[in-house]
Amino acid sequence: DIATEAPGGSGGAGGGGAGPARRWLRCGRFSEDPRVLALVNRCTSVPLVALALPLGGAAEGCMFASLPLPISTRLPVHVNACFRLHDNRRAIWRLTPDLDGEHRLWAEWNELLLTALVPQVYAEALRCLAATPGLAADGGHCAWPHGADVERQYAAILDPLVALLAEMPVLPTLGGDLVLPSEAVFFSTPTRALQACREQLLQLCAAAGWRVV
């Protein structure tokens, strides 16, 4: 759905701080992955992930576990899930060789959320953004992650996300169609000279059958 954050509100997924009102695309789902479902009772957690994508400008993404966490992912979206947390709520459990017992179980749960469910919801949100009239221009490519910017401990989200997006028509062409990333041609006009003849260049690209995004 689309949510509007009041000035000084907490953001589309539960955080954001003071500032002017802004709009968010919110997308979430329950996991149907048998690996996740097998841990539900043992972790006493709900297999749910929700994302909030800012519309009309970029945002630095944070993590939430119902309430905001002091964790920045440097993704351009907020991530809310039933993560298992350290007692001080300043970190989520991640897999390391020295973990055992319930801490290892909680870390396995978090890893599955990050590598299976978060990428799935993220990909669906990007497809929804591209397919909804008006939203693609409003959110645009700001919602796509930049791998070099993402915090290293959350880079595990990226490879499965890219694999999902490679099979999805998530890029809107100038003609309004959605195409696979492999079919798209990104049209960049980095200089004033190219910007001045942009329309003519676009017509030539269309005549050549290129699917420009």
Residue 7 lies inside a defined structural domain of this protein: no
| pLDDT tens digits, 7-52 | 445 455 544 444 567 788 899 999 999 999 999 999 999 999 999 9
- Does residue 161 surpass a pLDDT of 60? yes
Amino acid 15: pLDDT: 45
Question: Using 50, 70 and 90 to split pLDDT, how confident is the model at 185?
Answer: confident
pTM (two decimals): 0.84
Q: Indicate if 98 and 114 belong to the same structural domain.
A: yes
Q: Indicate if 186 and 150 belong to the same structural domain.
A: no
Q: Indicate if 55 and 153 belong to the same structural domain.
A: yes
Question: Using 50, 70 and 90 to split pLDDT, how confident is the model at 59?
Answer: confident
Which of 82, 77, 94, 84 lies closest to 48 in space, CA to CA?
82
Specify the number of domains making up the chain.
2
Q: Indicate if 60 and 124 belong to the same structural domain.
A: yes
Residues 11 and 3: their CA atoms lie apart, in Å, by 9
Residue 147 lies inside a defined structural domain of this protein: yes
Q: Indicate if 96 and 115 belong to the same structural domain.
A: yes
Question: Using 50, 70 and 90 to split pLDDT, how confident is the model at 141?
Answer: confident
% pLDDT > 70, the chain: 88
Amino acid 195: pLDDT: 84
Q: Which domain holds residue 26?
A: 21-168
Residue 1 lies inside a defined structural domain of this protein: no
Residue 92 lies inside a defined structural domain of this protein: yes
173-183 as b/e, with b when 16 or more CB fall inside 10 Å?
beeeebbeeee
Q: Indicate if 109 and 25 belong to the same structural domain.
A: yes
**Beta-sheet pairing, 22-30 with 48-55:** antiparallel
Contact 115, 45 (CB under 8 A): no
Amino acid 5: pLDDT: 64
Residues 205 and 112: their CA atoms lie apart, in Å, by 42
Would you state the structure tokens that stand for residue 160, as one six-digit string? 């499965």
| pLDDT tens digits, 98-133 | 888 999 999 999 999 999 999 999 999 999 888 887
Q: Which residues have a Cβ under 8 Å from the Cβ of 112 and sit 6 or more positions away? A: 31, 33, 35, 36, 39
- Does residue 212 surpass a pLDDT of 70? yes
